[in-house]
Amino acid sequence: MKNLRGMLGVMVLLALGLAGCQTVANDSLNNNQDQTVQSATPSLTAVSKVRKTDYLGRWVSTTQGAALYLTSNQKAAWFQKNHTTVKGHVTLKLGDNGQATLTHAKFGTIKVTLQDATTMTLTRGKTTFKLTKDTGWSPKHGKIPTSTKTALNGTSLATPTPLKKPNYQ
Task: Report the CATH number that the domain containing residue 110 is assigned in CATH.
Answer: 2.40.128
Burial class (CB in 10 A: 0-12, 13-18, 19+), 72: middle
Does 137 map to a domain? yes
Q: Is the pLDDT of residue 44 over 50?
A: no
- Residue 8 covered by a domain: no
Q: Which of 87-91, 117-121, 148-152, 160-164 has the least mean pLDDT?
A: 160-164
Per the domain annotation, does 24 fall within a domain? no
Give the gyration radius of the chain's Cα atoms. 32
Nearest to residue 86, comparing CAs of 66, 100, 61? 66
| 141 located within any domain | yes
Q: Which helix (H) or strand (E) holds 66?
A: strand 66-70
Looking at the predicted structure, is the pLDDT value of residue 65 above 80?
A: yes
Whether 123 is covered by a domain: the verdict is yes
In a domain, 22, yes or no: no
For residues 30, 36, 39 and 43, what is the CA-based torsion angle, rounded to 10 degrees? Answer: -150
Domain count, the chain: 1
Cβ distance 69 to 140 under 8 Å?
no
- Domain with 118, as residue range(s), is 52-145
150 within domain boundaries: no
pLDDT in tens, 97-155: 888 999 988 888 999 998 888 889 999 889 999 998 888 888 888 888 888 877 876 55
Report yes or no on 166 lying in a domain. no
